[in-house]
Amino acid sequence: MRDIAIVAFHQSRAVADAGACNEVEMIMPVLNEVYQQVGINNAQDVDFVCSGSCDYLQGAAFAFVAGVDALGAVPPIKESHVEMDAAWALYESILKLRMGHADSALVYGFGKSSPGELPVVLSQQLDPYYLAPQWIDTVSLAAMQARLMLDQGMLTERDMAEVVSRSRRNAMRNPAAQLAGDVSVEQVLAEETYLSPLRKADCCPVSDGAAAMIICTVDKAREWGVPYALITGIDHRIETHNLGMRDLTDSVSTRQAAEGAGVGAGAIDVAELYAPFSHQEIILSRALGLEGSTSVNPSGGVLAGNLMMASGLSRIGEVFKRVVSGEAERGVAHATSGPCLQHNLVTVVEKA
């Protein structure tokens, strides 16, 4: 099987409200950035393009097609889209490369969540007969998951506040972060509850922005003459849509995906986890078997800024950056989709 190299990654700054800037205008700067990183001109210079976005955010069917305007798709290009986080667009692109149908691929994801009421928009991804008609929002579902763990003594509110405090402090070194600061555990705990048992700080912010990545074969990376990291494993698993049938205090699908991706084959220097709620970072760390030697969410994670449909790809990009810089030799990135960590993708990125 052909090895897959990551050669470029960029994420826009996560902002609460991009204002009049539309999706194409959010995508173009990140594409230009990754083109520059490998020294190519545009999407014509890669063999395949795949994007991740959600039409519900724009409130129009096939809204994602407008995103293609950012590519300059004339003459025609080979292009695909997933109605998922762009981490799954990366997965599709990897399959394309492994099958020998392409030697390079551009992957991007974007989301402008500010115009709508995101938790309510996401309620419509739930079971269409039993849940969506109740308009139960995704924050409330996560709050019930947190309470299950608190009730069973599997974590404390202090444990959750520690996740928030570490995220805010790590994010001070991340220029793309929306929320950053020297915030102590006590300051978090002093905050009143928002959707009890969750405090607002336990929840990721609503953000606008985009991210892009370029992957290719090792031969292509050498031809381009740029530093690269290798994707040595990737797998994704999903759990039932029936929340009552799941063990919400664990992430069985993350555990399975980690096994499939070969996470246990070596030490993990860095892990970037897509945990939109503080308690979920604890669930994921346990499911991945992370130990104290692993730096978890050095970017601040998505509590510092959550680009819908791009944050999963960004987790992989954040690990890539640290491996290429020599800060880490081997890292794990995680992406999620669906309520209470229903669907999880795990990627292993290693030094070339």
Partner 1 sequence: MPESDSESEILNQAFELGYTYTRSTGPVVGRFLTGLRERQVVGNRGSDGRVIVPPMEYDPGTAEALSEFVDVSEEGEVVSWAWVKHPREAHPSDQPFAWAMIRLDGADVPMVHWVQANREADINTGSRVRVRWAEETTGSINDIAGFELV
Where does this chain bind partner 1 (CB under 8 A)? 117, 119-120, 123, 129-131, 133-137, 140-141, 143-145, 147-148, 151, 193-198, 239-240, 242-245
Backbone phi, psi, residue 301, to 5°: 65, -165
**By C-beta, is 195 or 218 nearer to partner 1?**
195
**By C-beta, is 83 or 151 nearer to partner 1?**
151
Secondary structure class of 32 (helix, strand, coil): helix
Question: Smallest gap, in angstroms, from Cβ of residue 154 to partner 1?
Answer: 12
Who contacts 54 (Cβ-Cβ below 8 Å, separation ≥6)? 83, 84, 111, 308, 309
Pairs from 148-151 (Cβ < 8 Å, separation ≥ 24): 148/248, 148/249, 149/249, 149/279, 149/282, 149/283, 150/197
Task: Report the DSSP pairing between strands 104-112 and 208-217.
Answer: antiparallel
Who contacts 311 (Cβ-Cβ below 8 Å, separation ≥6)? 85, 211, 274, 302, 305, 335
Question: Smallest gap, in angstroms, from Cβ of residue 310 to partner 1?
Answer: 25
Secondary structure class of 180 (helix, strand, coil): coil
Question: Smallest gap, in angstroms, from Cβ of residue 165 to partner 1?
Answer: 23
**By C-beta, is 154 or 172 nearer to partner 1?**
154
**By C-beta, is 121 or 316 nearer to partner 1?**
121
Residue 286 to residues 39, 252, 258, 289: CA-CA distances in angstroms? Answer: 40, 11, 12, 5
Question: Smallest gap, in angstroms, from Cβ of residue 305 to partner 1?
Answer: 23
Question: Smallest gap, in angstroms, from Cβ of residue 240 to partner 1?
Answer: 3
Backbone phi, psi, residue 279, to 5°: -65, -25
Question: Smallest gap, in angstroms, from Cβ of residue 136 to partner 1?
Answer: 6
Question: Smallest gap, in angstroms, from Cβ of residue 146 to partner 1?
Answer: 8
Task: Tell me which DSSP letter residue 148 carries.
Answer: H
**By C-beta, is 54 or 177 nearer to partner 1?**
54
Secondary structure class of 19 (helix, strand, coil): coil
**By C-beta, is 39 or 128 nearer to partner 1?**
128
**By C-beta, is 146 or 268 nearer to partner 1?**
146
